[in-house]
Amino acid sequence: MSFEGKSVIAIIPARGGSKRIPQKNIVDFCGKPLIAWSIEAAQKAGIFDAIVVSTDDEAIAKVSREYGAEVPFLRDKKADDFSPVSEAIIRTIEQLEATGRNYDLVVQLFAVCPLRTSEEIVESLQFFTEKEAPFLISCFKFVGMNPWWAIKLDDQFKGERIFTEEIKMRSQDIPELYSPTGAIWIAETEILKKEGTFFGKDHIFWEIDWISGIDIDDNKDLKLAAALRSIR
């Protein structure tokens, strides 16, 4: 299998030891382990030569295999609270290459973004290929309250405007703001290894639906994501 003549791997990083939600990556989400949603989205996309879960945790590895992902080894490095996820992905690539497995493109899918769709994965890769960019980061447009009104509160509860000029403008004249999300990150494998990050030189962004970009960090996020899934 290949995409536009290039081999493509999906890597789902899923470190154990989460604190805000114990074993977050395999916690129940709408009847399935959280990581299962990302594995199944990758499978439905139908574009990957391999779908690999990168984890340091045996329980996560077991669940991932049950849902059809590969876990050829446990992560031997970059599994702590401080290592950037890009470094963990690079380490996984290095471990695979040591066994003779090489891929032109890598697509990172965060296990904590269960609402991104297989269609969005394919569309993101198509856009990445069309633009001939070295890196692509998914993002979503802010909805709800206007982020241009944001303030910082000090210890006396006094507010400081972050955007001092835009607050004077009519809301319809202010440009849209977007937030990066870990739902879908794409890179040329060799360039990623050189740059050391998906946010390397000349990275571009691709907008996905804001619901698809939901990133689960705590129990409130988990409840919000479940509620949003029920209205899609």
Q: What is the pLDDT along the chain (232 residues), one digit of tens a residue?
A: 668 789 999 999 999 978 889 999 999 999 999 999 999 999 999 999 999 999 999 999 999 999 999 999 998 765 555 568 999 999 999 999 999 999 999 999 999 999 999 999 999 999 999 999 999 999 999 988 889 999 999 999 999 999 999 888 988 889 999 999 999 999 999 999 999 999 999 999 999 999 999 999 999 999 999 999 988 7
d(CA 105, CA 198): 12
Same domain, 104 and 163: no
Same domain, 219 and 157: no
> Domain limits at 63?
8-142+177-224
Is residue 231 assigned to a domain? no
Is residue 64 assigned to a domain? yes
- Three-state secondary-structure class, residue 154: coil
Count of domains forming the chain = 2
Q: 200 and 176 in contact (C-beta within 8 Å)?
A: no
Query: Given this model, what pLDDT does residue 153 score?
Result: 97
Same domain, 160 and 188: no
Same domain, 121 and 216: yes
CA distances from 190 to 13, 182, 195 (A): 19, 21, 9
Q: Given the structure tokens 């633009």, which residue do they identify?
A: 131
Q: 148 and 113 in contact (C-beta within 8 Å)?
A: no
Same domain, 102 and 150: no
d(CA 35, CA 115): 11
Same domain, 22 and 105: yes
Is residue 147 assigned to a domain? yes
Query: Given this model, what pLDDT does residue 64 score?
Result: 98
Is residue 2 assigned to a domain? no
Same domain, 78 and 171: no
Q: 35 and 65 in contact (C-beta within 8 Å)?
A: no
Same domain, 167 and 76: no
Q: Given the structure tokens 């493509």, which residue do they identify?
A: 8
d(CA 227, CA 232): 9
